[in-house]
Structure 1
Amino acid sequence: MMQLLFVYNANSGAGHALLDALHKLLSPATYSCTLCSLTYGATRMRPEWKAFLQTLPLPVVFLYRDQLVDLYPHLAALPLPAVFTDDTTGTVAPLVTAAEFRHLDLSGLMALVQARVAGARPPATP
C-alpha cells in the first residue's frame, strides 16, 4: 500500500528537539525546517495539521533527516524538508519538494498535499 513520507530537515532525538524548539523561538527566520515551522508550534503539533492528517486516505510516516538516510540512503542527497510517496514496490517519489516548501503557509501545504495525493493514488479496484 502506498504511504506518505514527511521528512523533516532536522535530526531525531530529544536533544535535537530542544535545540530546534529554541532555534524556532529565538531566530525563526534562520530555522531550516519549514515543515517543522509550519506544522508545529513551540512544542506541539498544530491542531489543524493534526486534524488534516487524519483526513488523508494514505498512511502517514514522519521521518527525520538522519532516519531518512538510514532507511532510504538513495534519497540522502535530496534537499529537505520534503514529502514523498512510497509504494509497495519500493518506489519513492517526491510529492512536495524543499523548494516548494519555501512558498507555502500551512493552509497552502495542506491544499497541495491533498491535491497531489488525489492525483497520486491508484484507482480503486472493484
Structure 2
Amino acid sequence: MKDYVHKIVSPASYGCNLCAITYSSTGMKDEWKVFIEHLAVPIRFFHRDEFVENYGNMEPSFPCGYIETENGLELFISSEEMNKLNNIKELKTLVRTKINGILD
C-alpha cells in the first residue's frame, strides 16, 4: 500500500526505477507482462530482501538484473543501465539486446 501511495503522490521520487517503469498504480503494466511472458529465457523478480534471502548478500546495487549460469549469478543489467531508462520501450530494447548477446 505504501508503494502504491508513493507512486501516486510522488512518482518522480519513487525509489526503484524498474518498478516505476513497469508498474502502474494498479499493478504490472500489460505491455511489460506480455513482453516477459514471451522472452526466450525464464525470468524472476525479487525485492532487495527477497534477493538476499535467495542468494545471500552479494552487495548488488539495485535495481539490476542477473542471469543464472552454471558458474552462478552474473550481472546482466547494471543498476546504472537500469536507472538511465525512461520507459518500457527502452527497457525492452535493453533486455532484447542483452539476451541476443548471450544467445548468439
- Please indicate, yes or no, whether the TM-score normalized by the shorter chain is above 0.5: yes
Q: Could you tell me which residue of structure 1 aligns to residue 12 of structure 2?
A: 29
1:102 shift after superposition = 1.9
1:120 shift after superposition = 1.5
Whichever residue aligns with residue 95 of structure 2, its letter is V
Whichever residue aligns with residue 44 of structure 1, its letter is G
Alignment of 1:37-76 (within 5 A): 37-75=20-58
**Alignment size in residue pairs:** 103
Matched, 1:78 2:60: yes
Whichever residue aligns with residue 82 of structure 2, its letter is F
Instruction: Work out the percentage of aligned pairs sharing the same amino acid.
Output: 31
CA contact (8 A) 2:63 2:83 kept: no
- 2: CA distance between counterparts of 1:96 and 1:47? 22
After TM superposition, the score normalised by the length of structure 1 is: 0.76
Runs of 4+ aligned residues of structure 1 deviating over 4 Å after TM superposition are none
Gaps of 5+ in 2: none
Q: Which has the higher contact order (CA 8 A, sep 6+)?
A: 1
1:43 shift after superposition = 2.1
1:119 shift after superposition = 1.2
* Aligned partner (choices 64, 67, 83) of residue 102 of structure 1: 83
1:99 shift after superposition = 1.1
- 1: CA distance between counterparts of 2:102 and 2:30? 26
After TM superposition, the score normalised by the length of structure 2 is: 0.90
- Once the two structures are superposed, residues 16-67 of structure 1 have per-residue CA deviations (whole angstroms, 9 ceiling, x without a partner) of xx11111111111211111111001102111110111122101111111101
CA contact (8 A) 2:66 2:74 kept: yes
- 1: CA distance between counterparts of 2:13 and 2:28? 20
* Cα root mean square deviation, aligned: 1.4
- Once the two structures are superposed, residues 48-96 of structure 1 have per-residue CA deviations (whole angstroms, 9 ceiling, x without a partner) of 1011112210111111110111111142x11101111012x25211111
Structure with higher helix content: 2
